[in-house]
Structure 1
Amino acid sequence: MYGMSTTSSAQAPDQAPNPDPDEAPDPDPDEAPDPDPAGHPQRWLILGVICLAQLTVLLDNTVLNVAIPSLTQELDAATSDIQWMINAYSLVQSGLLLTAGSAADRYGRKKMLIAGLALFGIGSLAAGLASSTGQLIAARAGMGVGGALLLTTTLAVAMQIFAPEEHPRAIGIWSAVNALGFAAGPLIGGFVLDHFWWGAIFLINLPVVALGLVAVVALVPESKNPRGDRPDLLGALLSTVGMTALVLAIISGPEHGWTSGRALAGGGVAMAALALFARWESRIPYPMLDLHFFRDQRFTGAVAGAVLITFGMGGALFLLTQHLQFVLGYEPLEAGLRTAPLALVVVALNFSGLSAKWTAGLGTPLSVGLGMVLMSGGLVSIALPASDGYAGTLLGLVLIGVGCAVANPAMAHAVMSAIPPAKAGVGAGINGTLAEFGNGLGVAVLGAVLNSRFAALIPVAATSLPAALAAAGSAGERREITEAFSSGLRTSQLAGAVAVLLGGLLAAALLRRAERAAA
């Protein structure tokens, strides 16, 4: 497998001899030999295939939002049903990312990629044909299993088929697909719903899945951990329970209150399960997640930056949609179109290779720091009172897009390069888990800042803008309520800007220190 620079402490577990010769894996005829140092001859075509598979998963994260009115009418779905339709997918996917990555390393990344596509396709078919809310929620959970396998194996395969010097550009393209999925989901969903019934938003996945299966079988080489560690079943169970409970607590806090039974129970289970997971992983000879990774300052720097960048971005984009609709007065589809410049900038810079060139010239620490400073400036531009028109918002979106294009691939590369190649699936699982955690935390915390500021300024008792406007007794009160909501948005966006800025400085400092220590 392709070599990646790691600390000796991180490599030691993978380089240790097998303590029991009977545990040595049998030769696998499906496992490809050591790849050419120049990279797989069809690597760019393979990257296109796995990015297509990844895009399908990412579209499903956002496409359901535009179908909520249709689901409410045709399936007689209550608000709680809608929440579970959305959350079942993200809960299962985020809870299984680390386990899925570990399974890919042990059993073969190509096998898990095929399994992920198949499960995602079956789940999409079941969702498209669902006739009740319960069936749709169950189908979405099944799609989450396939999504977890796809998100981890796509990045792991990309790290195997490219030479180390091509990793930054390959990861840049992989990262750009995330932005493309974010921008295209609502637009594709809106187009499909204008011409077909709601189930079609899931059935359009089927031809893409079929094409992906054929291409993966024909093109993608098999790769896996050559030592074949014993499966860490208890570690997989504890990590899945812990991460699922943690995401559930983050989702439940804004909806039911941070002191509600659901939020407190989720947080308590998460803390207990993750503490047991850390203790178990530190004591067994074949850990799913080697805790020695956290002794690598490059790894910890990338982890800190990844959490804070997704914290600021997830929360800010959640606030941005409300800013465009409630403050600037755009319709939902128009608001979606006006967020597109962010994704277009990310896609253009990464697909053209410019961001990879900048990262190579600046180095990882400076790239991460500069990218997050630009993102912070973009959030400030959106939050400024002068941006009540679209011009300030457009400038902010462009700055955030440039910052994302530079910082995101650099941090993903830092995470992956701090982990031995044999653990590429686990590395991809860590990268995805950090993104899910930071995004959920950003929505929860910055949403709480918004609600707190809004509640303190409005002249009526209400928990949301529509409820407050309905309770207003005069045009003056409605104007005051709208201004209070705008003030809350600005406060929370500025809080996100501070988090991103501090995250950039912290991550850059840790990555710089790690480089000096290695030198």
Structure 2
Amino acid sequence: MTTPTAPVERRIPESVHRRRWAILGVLMLSLLIVVLDNSILNVAIKTISTPAPTGLGATQSELEWAINAYTLVFAGLLFTAGLLGDRLGRKKVLLAGLAVFGIGSALAAESGSPVQLIVFRAVMGFGAAFVMPATLAVLMNVFEREEQPKAIGIWAGGVGLAIAIGPITGGLLLDHFWWGSVFLVNVPIVVVAIGLMVWLVPDSRDPRPGRLDPVGVVLSVVGLVLLVYGIIKGGQLADFGDPKVLASSLGGLAVLVVFVVYEKRSDHPSIDVTYFRNKVFSAAMAAITLVFFALMGVTFFSVFYTQSVRGYSPLETGLLMLPLAAAQMVFAPRARLLVDRFGNRVTTTGGLVLLAAMLAAFSLLDADTPIWLLEVIFFLMGTGMAHIMTPTSVVIMQALPREKAGSASALSNTFRQVGGALGIAVLGSVLSTSYRNGIEGHLTGVPAALRHTAGESIEATLGVARTLGPRGEALVGPASDAYLHAMHVTALWGAGVAVLGAVVAGLFLPGKAREEPEGEKEPELVGTEPS
């Protein structure tokens, strides 16, 4: 492949390229806000589930919706947000997204009920959808191709930094303030990010942007919401054959099938299905989707293990998750070195196998397991993630022309978020069903009106136990045992999904590139270039 001269290849002036590392720092701050919110929420979900005035008394299904309302709106709008960035300018879209995210955060902090929290989390997801793809699109336009893998590695390491800061920050806030502070903390960060963005970040756009696809957006969001609702409802009822559950789940699948057919026939689709003709691109997308399916579901239950079963505070829980984030920060920027030596297939497959092993290791944890074993598991999980995220992100971003960077970023993040949403829904439902089956035999002494509620989650059981006084103390031990069994089952499901991802990566991702350049091949991290 011929290399264009520098003046033709650059999309922005040389003066901007000299500021590219400072620009990367601002982009990482914007990314930090989006990721920080979810990592903070991870340690706050137990507090939010406690009755007022400490929390909102949210049930497990409401907690899942508080997470998934954000995720589904985020995922449903990502591709449209990427196209708007390509059309209107990435900087403008970034600034607008940050502003909406900040407003949503302030409203979420003042929520008076779980329903209000779910609605305002959706507003936050709306804003975040315009932030995430634009950060990576700007990055691809201020770094030359040879520096892009390094920059993307640092960008991915920023995710690890957010995962590290989030739980600790959330724990500190919950130790000193009310639960809403975990959302209010986003506001000053948004203000700083907007100021730096106006000062430093250049604007860029696609000279030939795609047309918007409102019908596709509506179909994708409606289909995903119906599917996820059915899955969560099935877990809540411990009955996936319930007519409402079947109607919702099958209806969601039907709408998603219509969405795919519509996108294939549309001349301006939200998702260009021709991208998936490249098997390397498709394999990278499948791997990243399966990884987040497994990881998000397991992260959801690990917080209840540390706080409800082991008795750690939110701050202590945040500190316990530090090894996972530290490993990502250390290894994500260096993952490209392993790819250079061993190739994409070996690096990504190895990361997925390691992640699967650590998810399976959760099935060995009990109420009195030495806590350092959990720390080792978290560290190795982070190591595996680092060696999956960086190479697959580079494959996805470099498989499309630079002008389509917003679309490539949006597509990557869409599948990542959809994978995470389905992981929380499916694995959360497995957790709910297993827990209810394990605790039901111990609820005979609970008043009939409270029995169904008490079986929804460990926090619901413990909450009912507190209202029963001395009679309720007999429920504490069985609740812990039932939760541990449910966690073990769910962890093995997650491990199985990660193994499936390893199989996909091992079969379809490229191996180590040859030394000699070839006209129809890019380096090892690059999929087939569209003509």
TM range (shorter): 0.7 to 0.9
Partners of 1:41 and 1:191 lie apart in 2 by 38
Kept in 2: contact 1:377–1:399 (CA 8 A): no
Query: Secondary structure at 1:512's aligned position in 2?
Result: coil
Shift of 1:216: 1.7
Partners of 1:153 and 1:88 lie apart in 2 by 21
Kept in 2: contact 1:299–1:415 (CA 8 A): yes
Q: Is 1:373 the counterpart of 2:353 in the alignment?
A: yes
Kept in 1: contact 2:216–2:259 (CA 8 A): yes
Shift of 1:224: 1.9
Q: How has the CA–CA distance of structure 1 residues 36 and 299 changed in structure 2, closer, same or farther, with 3 Å as cutoff?
A: farther
Aligned counterpart in structure 2 of residue 60 of structure 1, from 37, 41, 45: 37
Shift of 1:41: 2.0
Deviates more, 1:110-119 or 1:88-97: 88-97
Consecutive unaligned residues of structure 1, counting only runs of 5 or more, are 5-31
Deviates more, 1:253-262 or 1:400-409: 253-262
Q: Is 1:231 the counterpart of 2:212 in the alignment?
A: yes
Shift of 1:343: 0.8
Q: How has the CA–CA distance of structure 1 residues 246 and 480 changed in structure 2, closer, same or farther, with 3 Å as cutoff?
A: closer
* Alpha-carbon displacement from aligned partner over 1:340-386 (angstroms, at most 9, x marks no partner): 11111111223xx3223222222221111011111122223333358
Shift of 1:133: 6.8
Q: Is 1:419 the counterpart of 2:379 in the alignment?
A: no
- Name the amino acid aligned to 1:491: V
- Name the amino acid aligned to 2:504: L
Shift of 1:82: 6.4
- Name the amino acid aligned to 2:317: A
* Alpha-carbon displacement from aligned partner over 1:270-309 (angstroms, at most 9, x marks no partner): 3343333322322233333221111110111112211211
Aligned counterpart in structure 2 of residue 41 of structure 1, from 18, 42, 46: 18
**2:334 corresponding residue in structure 1:** 354
Shift of 1:52: 0.7
Root mean square deviation, CA, Å: 3.7
**1:209 corresponding residue in structure 2:** 190
Q: Is 1:345 the counterpart of 2:291 in the alignment?
A: no
Query: Secondary structure at 2:265's aligned position in 1?
Result: coil
Q: How has the CA–CA distance of structure 1 residues 87 and 371 changed in structure 2, closer, same or farther, with 3 Å as cutoff?
A: closer
Aligned counterpart in structure 2 of residue 97 of structure 1, from 65, 78, 89: 78
Shift of 1:262: 5.8
Q: Is 1:279 the counterpart of 2:261 in the alignment?
A: yes
**2:486 corresponding residue in structure 1:** 488
Shift of 1:252: 3.9
Partners of 1:477 and 1:69 lie apart in 2 by 18
Q: How has the CA–CA distance of structure 1 residues 269 and 493 changed in structure 2, closer, same or farther, with 3 Å as cutoff?
A: same
Kept in 2: contact 1:109–1:153 (CA 8 A): yes
Deviates more, 1:476-485 or 1:420-429: 476-485
Partners of 2:65 and 2:408 lie apart in 1 by 29
Kept in 1: contact 2:309–2:480 (CA 8 A): yes
**1:140 corresponding residue in structure 2:** 121
- Name the amino acid aligned to 1:270: G
- Name the amino acid aligned to 1:163: E
Q: How has the CA–CA distance of structure 1 residues 38 and 287 changed in structure 2, closer, same or farther, with 3 Å as cutoff?
A: farther
Partners of 1:303 and 1:178 lie apart in 2 by 18
Q: Is 1:169 the counterpart of 2:150 in the alignment?
A: yes
**1:159 corresponding residue in structure 2:** 140
Give the TM-score, by structure 1 length: 0.82
Kept in 1: contact 2:32–2:158 (CA 8 A): yes
Deviates more, 1:244-253 or 1:180-189: 244-253
Partners of 2:115 and 2:500 lie apart in 1 by 43
Kept in 1: contact 2:99–2:127 (CA 8 A): yes
Q: Is 1:323 the counterpart of 2:305 in the alignment?
A: yes
* Alpha-carbon displacement from aligned partner over 1:443-475 (angstroms, at most 9, x marks no partner): 333334444444555543545445667599899
Query: Secondary structure at 1:388's aligned position in 2?
Result: coil
* Alpha-carbon displacement from aligned partner over 1:90-111 (angstroms, at most 9, x marks no partner): 3322221222122222222122
Q: Is 1:184 the counterpart of 2:182 in the alignment?
A: no
Q: How has the CA–CA distance of structure 1 residues 248 and 425 changed in structure 2, closer, same or farther, with 3 Å as cutoff?
A: farther
Q: Is 1:509 the counterpart of 2:507 in the alignment?
A: yes
Partners of 1:43 and 1:231 lie apart in 2 by 30
Shift of 1:160: 2.0
Shift of 1:77: 6.4
Shift of 1:479: 5.0
Kept in 2: contact 1:296–1:514 (CA 8 A): no
Shift of 1:393: 1.8
Q: How has the CA–CA distance of structure 1 residues 261 and 187 changed in structure 2, closer, same or farther, with 3 Å as cutoff?
A: farther
Kept in 2: contact 1:3–1:164 (CA 8 A): no
Shift of 1:150: 0.6
Q: Is 1:119 the counterpart of 2:74 in the alignment?
A: no
**1:402 corresponding residue in structure 2:** 383
Shift of 1:246: 4.0
Aligned counterpart in structure 2 of residue 311 of structure 1, from 285, 293, 317: 293
Q: How has the CA–CA distance of structure 1 residues 265 and 48 changed in structure 2, closer, same or farther, with 3 Å as cutoff?
A: farther
* Alpha-carbon displacement from aligned partner over 1:169-210 (angstroms, at most 9, x marks no partner): 222222233333333323223323444455544443233222
Shift of 1:156: 1.8
Q: Is 1:364 the counterpart of 2:344 in the alignment?
A: yes
**1:219 corresponding residue in structure 2:** 200
Q: How has the CA–CA distance of structure 1 residues 424 and 297 changed in structure 2, closer, same or farther, with 3 Å as cutoff?
A: same
Partners of 1:132 and 1:485 lie apart in 2 by 26
**1:433 corresponding residue in structure 2:** 414
Q: How has the CA–CA distance of structure 1 residues 478 and 123 changed in structure 2, closer, same or farther, with 3 Å as cutoff?
A: closer
Kept in 1: contact 2:232–2:425 (CA 8 A): yes
- Name the amino acid aligned to 2:319: L
Deviates more, 1:445-454 or 1:278-287: 445-454
Q: How has the CA–CA distance of structure 1 residues 35 and 261 changed in structure 2, closer, same or farther, with 3 Å as cutoff?
A: farther
**2:131 corresponding residue in structure 1:** 150
Aligned counterpart in structure 1 of residue 496 of structure 2, from 498, 504, 517: 498
Q: How has the CA–CA distance of structure 1 residues 61 and 249 changed in structure 2, closer, same or farther, with 3 Å as cutoff?
A: farther
Partners of 1:383 and 1:132 lie apart in 2 by 34
Q: How has the CA–CA distance of structure 1 residues 486 and 100 changed in structure 2, closer, same or farther, with 3 Å as cutoff?
A: same
Kept in 1: contact 2:435–2:485 (CA 8 A): yes
Q: How has the CA–CA distance of structure 1 residues 258 and 226 changed in structure 2, closer, same or farther, with 3 Å as cutoff?
A: farther
Partners of 1:508 and 1:275 lie apart in 2 by 28
Consecutive unaligned residues of structure 2, counting only runs of 5 or more, are 444-454, 522-531
Q: How has the CA–CA distance of structure 1 residues 90 and 512 changed in structure 2, closer, same or farther, with 3 Å as cutoff?
A: closer
Kept in 2: contact 1:72–1:78 (CA 8 A): no
Q: How has the CA–CA distance of structure 1 residues 321 and 140 changed in structure 2, closer, same or farther, with 3 Å as cutoff?
A: closer
- Name the amino acid aligned to 1:154: T
Deviates more, 1:486-495 or 1:48-57: 486-495
Shift of 1:70: 8.4
- Name the amino acid aligned to 2:33: T
- Name the amino acid aligned to 2:428: G
